[in-house]
């Protein structure tokens, strides 16, 4: 029996957050190849993707290389970062036989969808996107590029080219999903064709993982433990984490964010609660806490890191995964673009 839960749509925004049965569904997700994935990605989304795949969903994963240059002038070491993303995906359990893993830049028809899609969104709407506004506020660039302003529409092309039903995302990506839903609806309305389904967000259940300073784990804050880090580096990062001088370890996220973050991290790795761990460490102080966390992280990541090392030794295989993914994605994107051009009555469409 299939049970589909339907929740009322939120009144304020058309987000379509509605977890559905993953079997038989098409899932699109992706990452920007800007550097190594860390434990925040792992507990936030990577594990979830693997779970969806095991439950029978068809996965499309975009290595969003054109999205790298939204907030920086130059895409640094793009090929290396892209291949490392694929290594992280495979090491954490994605099966490339059934998942289609590809880079933006290898799928021309996906990118061409951006043009008709841009015509469906107003400049005022683009300017209201809260995630883009926040990124502009934090950008180190001296001016806002056209790509920064419009990349959510490009992301709509990522999602719609393969007619994805589900998009697993964190909270910050919800405005982008709303753009994709709007574009799908308006395209269908304007051209009278039911080409695009309306994708739904699948919100990650994992809490935002704090980094080693108690703030959100993020590469740019230097508080992240990469999947690719070795055991010594992990120990060093944890040792450098901000805690306090109180000997008795307690789980108090508001009062002791540094201690609480470390407890959460170890708890996720050991599938226990932060409170249980705190009790066990008791009067051991920060030193015992950090030892526990280092061991928990290293133990949890040991098989993933071993697999990572094997995969990293065979770059040719990784490149082949990307080539095969691009082939599949191109076939799907070409078909969708043909439908779009036909619906628009473009000259030369079949």
Instruction: Using CB under 6 A, list all residues that contact ligand TRP.
Output: 28-32, 62, 64, 67, 155, 158-159, 167, 169, 173
84-88, Cβ contacts within 8 angstroms, sequence gap of 24 or more: 84/33, 84/36, 84/228, 84/312, 85/31, 85/33, 85/37, 86/318, 86/321, 86/322, 87/228, 87/308, 87/311, 87/312, 87/318, 88/36, 88/37, 88/41, 88/46, 88/227, 88/228, 88/308
Nearer residue to ligand TRP within complex by CB, 47 or 291: 47
Distance of CA 347 to the CA centre of its chain: 38
Nearer residue to ligand TRP within complex by CB, 70 or 243: 70
Residue keyed to tokens 């995906």: 89
**Cα–Cα distance for residue pair 65/86, rounded to 1 Å:** 13
Strand, coil or helix: what is 92?
coil
Tell me the closest approach of the beta carbon of residue 89 to ligand TRP, in angstroms.
13
Tell me the closest approach of the beta carbon of residue 131 to ligand TRP, in angstroms.
8
Nearer residue to ligand TRP within complex by CB, 30 or 258: 30
Tell me the closest approach of the beta carbon of residue 86 to ligand TRP, in angstroms.
15
Tell me the closest approach of the beta carbon of residue 292 to ligand TRP, in angstroms.
31
**Which residue in the shown chain puts its C-beta closest to ligand TRP?**
64
Instruction: Give, in degrees to the nearest 5, the angle at Cα 204 between 123 and 303.
Output: 125
Nearer residue to ligand TRP within complex by CB, 152 or 258: 152
Nearer residue to ligand TRP within complex by CB, 66 or 251: 66
Tell me the closest approach of the beta carbon of residue 8 to ligand TRP, in angstroms.
24
């Amino acid at each position: 029996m299939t049970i589909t839960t339907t929740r009322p749509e939120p009144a304020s925004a058309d987000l379509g957050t509605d977890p559905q049965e993953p079997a038989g569904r098409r899932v699109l997700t992706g990452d920007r190849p800007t550097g190594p994935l860390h434990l925040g990605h792992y507990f936030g989304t990577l594990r979830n993707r693997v779970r969806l795949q095991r439950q029978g969903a068809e996965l499309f994963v975009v290595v969003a290389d054109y999205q790298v240059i939204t907030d920086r002038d130059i895409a640094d070491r793009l090929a290396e970062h892209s291949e490392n993303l694929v290594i992280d995906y495979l090491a954490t359990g994605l099966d490339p036989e059934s998942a289609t893993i590809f880079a933006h830049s290898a799928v021309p028809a996906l990118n061409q969808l951006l043009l008709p899609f841009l015509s469906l969104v107003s400049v005022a709407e683009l300017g209201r996107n809260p995630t883009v506004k926040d990124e502009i506020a934090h950008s180190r660039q001296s001016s806002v590029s056209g790509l920064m302003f419009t990349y959510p529409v490009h992301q709509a092309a990522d999602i719609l080219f393969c007619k994805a039903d589900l998009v697993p995302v964190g909270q910050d990506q919800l405005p982008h999903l709303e753009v994709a839903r709007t574009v799908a609806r308006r395209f269908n309305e304007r051209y009278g064709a039911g080409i695009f389904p309306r994708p739904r967000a699948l919100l990650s259940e994992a809490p935002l993982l704090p980094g080693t300073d108690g703030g959100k784990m993020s590469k740019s804050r230097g508080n992240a433990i990469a999947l690719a880090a070795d055991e010594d580096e992990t120990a060093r990062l944890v040792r450098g984490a901000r805690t306090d001088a109180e000997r008795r370890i307690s789980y108090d996220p508001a009062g002791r964010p540094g201690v609480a973050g470390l407890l959460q991290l170890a708890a996720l790795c050991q599938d226990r609660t932060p409170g249980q761990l705190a009790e066990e460490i008791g009067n051991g102080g920060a030193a015992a806490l950090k030892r526990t966390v280092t061991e928990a992280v290293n133990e949890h990541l040991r098989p993933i890191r071993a697999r990572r090392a094997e995969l990293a030794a065979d770059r040719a295989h990784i490149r082949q995964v990307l080539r095969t993914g691009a082939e599949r994605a191109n076939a799907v994107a070409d078909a969708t673009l043909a439908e779009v051009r036909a619906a628009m009555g473009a000259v030369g469409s079949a």
